[in-house]
Structures are given as C-alpha cells and as structure tokens.
Amino acid sequence: MKTGKLSAKIAVITGGSSGIGLATAKRFVEEGAYVFITGRRQAELDKAVAEIGRNVTGVQGDVSNLDDLDRLYKEVETKKGKLDVLFANAGIAEPVPTPDVTPEHYDRTFDINTRGVFFAVHKALPLMKDGGSIIVNGSGAWQKGIPMYAAYAATKAALRSFVRTWTAEFAGKGIRANVISPGPVETPILEGQFGENTDAVKERFKAMVPMGRIGKPEEIASAAVFLASEESSYITGIDLPVDGGLVAV
C-alpha cells in the first residue's frame, strides 16, 4: 500500500475554509495528514469540513485575535498533542491607492497578514516537533511594485523577513521555515477585491504573467505539500514563487 507524503503528520492551516487554504487542506488529507483548519465564518468553515470529509477539525477564529489562536492550539494539543506542519495562509488583499489608505485599512491589513502570521507561528512552537515545517503564504507583490497594493505588499515583505530569521533561529530543532509566493490565483479573494470588474482585472493579470494565465489553488497546494514533506528536507529559508513566472522576468 502506497504511503502518503504526509502520512501521520498533524497540520494546521489558517484560512482553510476557501481558496488556497481549502485546496491545501484537501491535498494534505489525501497525503495522509490530519488537518486543523481555521476560518472566520462558521458556516463557511462547516462547509469546508464537510467537503474535506475526513481527518479534519474546523476551529472558528480570526488570526488577528490572540485568544482565537490560543483556542486553536489548545484544540490541537487536546486532540493530537503535537504539531508537524503549520501553513500560515490566512490573509486579506484590499487594493487601495496610497492617497486613499486609511489608518483602519492599514491596521487591518497588518493585523491579519503580518501580526496574525507572526503569532500563529509563535503560539505553534510549543507543540511543534523537532523536524517540523513552517510555511507562510506570501506574494510576489512586494517585489513588483503593483499600484494600489502598498500596505498589502509591505505585509508580505515582512513575512519574507520573518522566515529568514526563523530559518536561523529554529534550525537547532530541525524546524524549517519557508515562504510560498503565489501569483494571481482563481480564489474567492480575487473576486472579492474587484467585484464586477474581476474579469477585466484577470485579463490584466494574465498579461503580466509569462505563462499567460491565472493560477489554480491546487497548484499552490502542490507546492505546500512539497515544503511540508520530507521531499524538501534540505530546503529552508526560501521564497518559492508559484506564479507562472511573474517575478522572474
């Protein structure tokens, strides 16, 4: 019988109720992992748990709320007692031109995308086994200088810095830390940004991507499986673009 790449591993995926997080949760379970997923909306989370179907627990919560993170890891500790893989995936993208950025927009973006990731990792560490894998969901936006994404891109640049530090800091325990940086991907968050203009924006994104198309959540999930598994056992500290060549040329 073939053994999955993540056989018997315990994983947490924040923002796991839709898009990249949901696709990754499905793949992790297919590869033998038990997965805890989070989401802010209970109904959407329940739907995701039903869709994944097995070896999954949904824990409602917002990564910017430290009490919610504590509750998440308490559930992991109670049910499984350890953690092998964290995919800190939860994030928001709200394109706003710099002159229109409000303090509220700025704080919300950093609270979820940067503070939320930092403390998702911080609070995971007591449960994380030697040899664990931390993966954070970045973006190539911080390298490209895309208009209207000043706050968003800066949050993702911070993640790149975190991972450099964590690579050095956690190496003694054999814990690896890496970034996945997706390009434009077919997810609800994309439509949520642009509404009725989504199709036109997709065409603009396609023109920016050398491969000439929008990515699929499953393509990001494949990269996450690789970084979570022993197949990447000598890889740490990298920013892996999964973007059809967007930042390469």
Residues 147-204 have pLDDT tens digits of 999 999 999 999 999 999 999 999 999 999 999 999 999 988 777 677 778 888 889 9
Q: What is the pLDDT of residue 225?
A: 98
Q: Find how far residue 128's CA is from the centre of its chain.
A: 17
Number of independent structural domains in the chain: 1
Number of Cβ within 10 Å of residue 212's Cβ equals: 10
Residue 234 within a domain: yes
Q: What is the pLDDT of residue 166?
A: 98
Q: Name 53's Cβ contacts closer than 8 Å, sequence gap at least 6.
A: 29
Spell out, as residue ranges, where the chain has pLDDT lower than 70.
1-2, 192
71/119 Cα distance (integer angstroms): 13
Residue 215 within a domain: yes
Catalytic residues: 152
Range of the domain at 133: 10-242
Residue 89 within a domain: yes
Residue 167 within a domain: yes
Residue 247 within a domain: no
Residue 5 within a domain: no
Q: Find the CATH number of the domain harbouring 14.
A: 3.40.50.720
Element (H, E) at 58: strand 56-60
Residue 249 within a domain: no
β-strand partners of 59: 38
Q: What is the pLDDT of residue 159?
A: 98
Q: Are 109 and 152 within 8 A, CB to CB? A: yes
Residue 1 within a domain: no
